[in-house]
Amino acid sequence: MNIAQLDDKDRAIIELLQGDGRMPFTKVAAEVGLTEGAIRQRVQRLTDQGVMQIVAVTDPMSVGVRRVAMIGARVHGDAEATATQLAEMPEVEYLVATTGRYDLMFEVVADDDAHLMVLLSALRSRPDIVEVEAFSCLKLFKQVFSWGAR
Residue 97 lies in a domain: yes
101 lies in the same domain as 66: yes
- The verdict on residue 26 lying in a domain is yes
CATH number at residue 32: 1.10.10.10
Please check whether residues 38 and 107 belong to one and the same domain: no
Please give the Cα distance from 74 to 61 (Å, whole number).
27
77 and 109 belong to one structural domain: yes
85 within domain boundaries: yes
Q: In angstroms, rounded to a whole number, what is the distance separating the alpha carbons of residues 65 and 81? A: 32
Is there a single domain that holds both residue 67 and residue 131? Answer: yes
Residue 86 lies in a domain: yes
The answer to whether residue 55 sits within a structural domain is no
Domain match, 30 and 97 both = no
| Confidence bin at 149 (pLDDT 50/70/90) | low
Q: Is residue 149 part of a domain?
A: no
The count of structural domains within the chain is 2
Domain containing residue 21:
8-48
17-21, 61-65, 66-70, 105-109: the lowest-pLDDT one: 61-65
CATH number at residue 98: 3.30.70.920
For the stretch 70-93, pLDDT in tens is 999 999 999 999 999 999 999 999
The answer to whether the CB of 109 falls within 8 A of the CB of 60 is yes
Cβ atoms < 10 Å from Cβ of 116? 21
Q: Does residue 118 sit in the same domain as residue 64?
A: yes
Same domain? 36 vs 74: no
Q: Which residues of 32-43 are buried (b: 16+ CB within 10 A; e: fewer)?
A: bebeeebbeebb
pLDDT tens, residue by residue, 97-134: 999 999 999 999 999 999 999 999 999 999 999 999 99
Other beta carbons less than 10 A from residue 71's beta carbon: 23
In this predicted structure, the answer to whether residue 1 has a pLDDT above a threshold of 60 is no
User: Residue 107 falls within a domain, yes or no?
Assistant: yes
**In-domain check, residue 95:** yes
